[in-house]
Amino acid sequence: MIYAVGMSESLTHIDEHGNAGMVDVSNKPPMRRTAVAQACFVAAQDTLDRVMDGDLPKGEGLGVARIAGIQAAKSVDRMIPLCHTLGLSHAGVTFHRHADDCIRIEASATVVSSTGVEMEALAAATTAALTLWDMVKAIDADLSITDVRLLSKEKTSLNAD
């Protein structure tokens, strides 16, 4: 078995010969799994005012970014080679004006499966941020995406007592 330095568990995506491969989760019981991720879209205050007001040259940005994020969550297995194909139960994207220069994007994904949905939530948040970038790049050249991270993940047994 191959072990990572400083870790007590084997690397699950690496076989005994060091080759990367998809993890077999067929022996794990299906559970309800939810993950929440975030990304912060940073732009000038005037730019973010226009985003929040739906006043952009390309149209209403938040709705387009929401759909792009949901679409990304549903497509993770095509973007990231070793991710499992999941039939999501839910994917959602919300936007919150966090500061004068930031819109906080929060994305969630839920599935009943033997594997988690962290990558789906992260893909939704970052894709929504990238979509906002595309929607405003004509009016603001000083953009950034920051604080991309997993906020939470949980799993619940389907065998409720």
pLDDT digits (tens, 9 = 90+) for 115-133: 999 999 999 999 999 999 9
pLDDT digits 0-9 by tens, 77-118? 999 988 999 999 999 999 999 888 999 999 999 999 999 999
Active site residue 134: yes
Does 17 reside within a domain? no
Catalytic residue among 134, 142, 147, 161: 134
Does 161 reside within a domain? no
Does an H or E element contain 64, and which?
helix 61-74
Token readout for 155 is: 């799993």
Does 10 reside within a domain? no
What count of other Cβ atoms lies within 10 Å of the Cβ of residue 22? 13
Angle between helix axes 61-74 and 45-53 (nearest 10 degrees) is 80
Does 129 reside within a domain? yes
Q: What is the CATH number of the domain that holds 59?
A: 3.30.70.640
Contact 31, 112 (CB under 8 A): yes
**Residue 20's pLDDT band (boundaries 50, 70, 90)?**
confident
Does 130 reside within a domain? yes
Question: How far apart, in whole angstroms, are the C-alpha atoms of residue 67 and residue 85?
Answer: 19
Does 4 reside within a domain? no
pTM over 0.75: yes
Q: The domain containing residue 57 runs over which residues?
A: 31-154
Does 21 reside within a domain? no
What total number of domains does the chain contain? 1
Contact 114, 29 (CB under 8 A): yes
Q: What is the pLDDT of residue 6?
A: 44
Does 22 reside within a domain? no
